[in-house]
Amino acid sequence: MSKEQNIVYIGRKPTMNYVLAVITSFNSTDTKEATLKARGRSITTTVDVAEIVRRKFMKELKAGKITIGTEEIEQEEGGTRNVSTIEITLTRG
């Protein structure tokens, strides 16, 4: 989790690790929003984290801005490939 803007980068860890990170970011500071960021195969985990936090733990949260996009990643063999990205902003109601 990034401290400066309450950003949680989603990767390969278990889903509940990220759920705990989001809940901690809302409870430890007096913050109004947190952003989940992921790319590639982690996008499904990001959506799962957002829904678990919203439906099970912090029912007052709403999905604010959802941004999708594509990044070009340079490969070691040469050339580039496109990777999908997502950002989900959860806001306290």
CATH number of 42's domain: 3.30.110.20
Give CA–CA dist 17/88, Å, rounded. Answer: 17
Question: Which pLDDT score, from 0 to 100, does residue 4 have?
Answer: 58
Instruction: Tell me the residue range of the domain where 21 lies.
Output: 7-92
Burial of 22 (0-12, 13-18, 19+ CB in 10 A): buried
Name beta bridge partners: 38.
86
**Distant-in-sequence, close-in-space partners of 19: CB < 8 Å, separation ≥ 6:** 49, 52, 53, 57
C-alpha torsion sign, points 34, 93, 66, 40: positive
In a domain, 22, yes or no: yes
Counting the structural domains of the chain, the total is 1
In a domain, 2, yes or no: no
Per-residue confidence in pLDDT tens, the chain, 93 aa: 544 578 999 999 999 999 999 999 998 878 899 999 999 999 999 999 999 999 999 999 999 999 999 999 999 998 999 999 999 999 997
In a domain, 32, yes or no: yes
**Measured in Å, how far apart are the chain's first and last C-alpha atoms?**
22
In a domain, 61, yes or no: yes
In a domain, 1, yes or no: no
